[in-house]
């Protein structure tokens, strides 16, 4: 293990690194991972775009669950892993971050640039008129519309919803777009069955194409949405380092593989290769920044 850690340090110290992060990086911030050691078995499948737009009952169920789950997401703060990545960027060793997460914690920790592959939970879009608003504003409106909705949330999922039965959500009232008056609101994240915007994917391929190495942090690489960048790096002959608890579908392409908790390992990495650098921008508690204009990894 020591030799592998030393090799990881040397790879990052050489610079030109692009980070690809997944849900495992946010578990130490209290947001569970579907597939990693902290993953909680869920009783319902993730919402698909087709079901969300075509089934009013399912859409009500989603918003009731998400309304409760948002409280946990909104309170989440960057952990040591996020801060270490930001520190490596500030040192000029990491060129960019591509994240499959929708929690906004990389940005809150001070990382830039960050490509949020699957969007952000703190932003809401109207599917009719395209107007964007903050999740904070929607949360206020939903609280006003549902003053007595105070069901205890037992399990919060990585995409920000919770497990509730139909009886618990039957009386939940949804709200429409305030701009056009009737539009359907959706969190500005990529649902299952929905396509990541082509321009966003193209930018990620460009970042990987210009990198010297790809560092995967906390992703099982189960879905092609993130794994395609590992495949692209391998085709280009770039070294791929994977740090994750548990096996990944990219292990066969990795030149380095570390199975360990991310926070302490990344903190040690940043301390070793960027000892004099401090990253700014850590927003602390309530780290998901509200957007004025916001699932799967």
CB atoms near residue 37 (< 10 Å): 11
Q: What is the pLDDT of residues 191-243, one digit of tens each?
A: 988 999 999 999 999 999 999 999 999 999 999 999 999 999 999 999 999 99
HSE (side-chain half, CA atoms, 13 Å) at 200: 17
**For the chain, where do the domains classified as CATH 3.30.1600.10 start and end?**
44-75+121-189
Any known ligand binding at 102? yes
Q: Which CATH class is domain 44-75+121-189?
A: alpha beta
Any known ligand binding at 255? no
Least confident of 31-35, 252-256, 266-270: 31-35
Any known ligand binding at 100? yes
Any known ligand binding at 101? yes
Q: What is the pLDDT of residues 118-169, one digit of tens each?
A: 999 999 999 999 999 999 999 999 999 999 887 655 455 555 555 566 677 8
| Active-site hit among 67, 82, 106, 118 | 118
Any known ligand binding at 54? no
Any known ligand binding at 204? no
pLDDT at 283: 39
Q: Which CATH class is domain 1-31+79-118+196-275?
A: alpha beta
**For the chain, where do the domains classified as CATH 3.40.50.1220 start and end?**
1-31+79-118+196-275
Q: In the chain, pLDDT over 70 holds for what percent of residues?
A: 85
Query: Which stretch of DSSP H or E encloses residue 87?
Result: helix 80-90
Q: What is the pLDDT of residues 46-88, one digit of tens each?
A: 789 999 999 999 999 899 988 888 888 889 999 999 999 999 9
Q: Which of 178, 172, 176 is nearest to 186 (CA)?
A: 176
The Cα–Cα gap between 191 and 188 comes to 9
Q: Write 123-126 long-range contacts (CB < 8 A, 24+).
A: 123/187, 123/188, 123/291, 123/293, 123/294, 124/185, 124/186, 124/187, 124/188, 124/294, 125/185, 125/186, 125/187, 125/188, 125/294, 126/177, 126/179, 126/180, 126/183, 126/184, 126/185, 126/186
The Cα–Cα gap between 218 and 234 comes to 19
Instruction: Output the CA–CA distances (angstroms, integers) from residue 43 to 58, 147, 156, 171, 223, in the order listed.
Output: 15, 27, 12, 21, 20
Any known ligand binding at 21? no
Any known ligand binding at 193? no
pLDDT at 276: 87
Q: Which of 64, 65, 62, 43 is nearest to 52 (CA)?
A: 62
* 118 catalytic per annotation: yes
**What's the predicted TM-score (pTM) here?**
0.86
């Amino acid at each position: 293990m020591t030799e592998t850690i030393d090799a990881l340090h040397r790879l990052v110290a050489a610079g030109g690194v692009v980070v690809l992060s997944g849900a495992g990086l946010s578990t130490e911030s209290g947001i569970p991972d579907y597939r990693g050691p902290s993953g909680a078995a869920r009783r319902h499948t993730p919402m698909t775009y087709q079901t969300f737009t075509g089934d009013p009952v399912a859409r009500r169920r989603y918003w009731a669950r998400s309304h409760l789950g948002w409280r946990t997401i909104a309170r989440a703060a960057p952990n040591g892993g996020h801060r270490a990545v930001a520190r490596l960027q500030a040192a000029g060793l990491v060129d960019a971050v591509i994240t499959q997460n929708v929690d906004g914690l990389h940005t809150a920790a001070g990382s830039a640039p960050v490509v949020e592959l699957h969007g952000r939970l703190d932003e809401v879009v109207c599917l009719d008129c395209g107007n964007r608003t903050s999740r904070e504003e929607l949360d206020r409106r939903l609280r006003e519309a549902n003053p007595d909705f105070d069901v205890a949330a037992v399990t919060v999922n990585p995409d920000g919803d919770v497990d509730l039965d139909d009886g618990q959500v039957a009386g939940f009232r949804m709200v429409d777009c305030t701009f056009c008056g009737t539009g359907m609101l959706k969190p500005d994240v990529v649902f299952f069955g929905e396509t990541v915007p082509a321009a966003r994917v193209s930018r990620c391929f460009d970042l990987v194409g210009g990198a010297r190495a790809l560092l995967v942090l906390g992703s099982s690489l189960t879905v092609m949405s993130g794994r395609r960048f590992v495949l692209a790096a391998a085709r280009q002959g770039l070294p791929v380092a994977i740090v994750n608890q548990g096996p990944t579908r990219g292990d066969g392409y990795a030149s380095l593989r570390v199975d360990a908790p991310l926070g302490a390992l990344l903190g040690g990495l940043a301390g070793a290769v960027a000892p004099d650098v401090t990253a700014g921008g850590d927003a602390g508690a309530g780290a998901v920044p509200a957007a004025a204009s916001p699932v799967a990894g």
